[in-house]
Amino acid sequence: MDQDLLTLLRSVDTPTVCNAIEVAQGRRGFNAFTHGTMSVSDPKGVIVGYAVTAQIAALEPPKESPEIIRARRMAYYKAMSEAPKPSIAVVEDLDYPQSIGAYWGEVNTTIHKGFGMSGALTNGVMRDLGDLAPDFPVIAGSIGPSHGFVHVRSVNAPVCVMGLSVSPGDLVHADRHGAVVIPTDVINLLSAAIKKMQETEQLILGPARGENFDFAAFEEAWAAFEKSRV
């Protein structure tokens, strides 16, 4: 990814990216985003990265041998450590919506940050809120105290997190609003799209924040705003 684009994406929120994708596509209807309210470890945290995917479960003990479970866990960590950067761990909890196993806590956030990853997205559980690795945002389905019988069930396969389908290598943008998968055909158009969208919003925000803003001023500003937006 172009470094300037990466810096730009890290400076804006996920709703901005969601809108900019529609500007780049020239139409409404983009729907590759999470659904519902999620819990966040850092309200100001923004994650941009290529997805490294996995599935976990925790309600019941694994039925496979300890050797198989350990080998899969090591394959998981190897995939996370070797992924192209920037990267984001996208982990589907197969127990959702009855998730009870907090996979993301002090230990795992520290490990993944040490691997150089940018953050984590999951429909599962996080804990250790006061001890999570700094500058490693986690966006999770819930908060809870226990790890249950958490174990890795798959690595580098397509997953679904809060209604968002994610494949290994997808470019993900996430923050306290949720996450989106950025379509590959708009990546090179995003910088211009974000600039255009921000300029368009100023057509209404500028007058609305100014003095002497009334309905007549609103009508004039809104007409210019509607003319310029997707």
Please calculate the CA angle 206-226-9 and round it to the nearest 5 degrees: 65
Options 3.90.1150.10, 2.130.10.30, 3.30.1390.20, 3.50.30.40; CATH for 31-182 is: 3.50.30.40
Q: Residues 154-171: what's their mean pLDDT?
A: 98
Q: Residues 197-225: what's their mean pLDDT?
A: 94
pLDDT confidence of 228, banded at 50, 70, 90?
confident
Does residue 229 have a pLDDT over 90?
Answer: no
Residue range 68-117, pLDDT digits in tens = 999 999 999 999 999 999 999 999 999 999 999 999 999 999 999 999 99
> What ranges do the domains of the chain cover?
31-182, 189-228
- Locate 101 and state its tokens: 């196993």
Residue range 18-48, pLDDT digits in tens = 999 999 999 999 999 999 999 999 999 999 9
Share of the chain above pLDDT 70, in %: 99
Q: Residues 159-172: what's their mean pLDDT?
A: 98
At 76, phi and psi to the nearest 5? -60, -55
pLDDT confidence of 227, banded at 50, 70, 90?
confident
Q: What is the pLDDT of residue 218?
A: 96
Cβ-contact 93, 103 below 8 angstroms:
yes
Does residue 1 have a pLDDT over 90?
Answer: no
pLDDT confidence of 226, banded at 50, 70, 90?
confident
Q: What is the pLDDT of residue 181?
A: 98
Q: Residues 147-162: what's their mean pLDDT?
A: 98
Q: What CA–CA distance (Å, rounded) separates 47 from 16?
A: 14
Q: H or E stretch including 181?
A: strand 178-182
Does residue 230 have a pLDDT over 60?
Answer: no
Q: What is the pLDDT of residue 64?
A: 97
Cβ-contact 90, 161 below 8 angstroms:
yes
Computed over every residue of the chain, the mean pLDDT equals 96
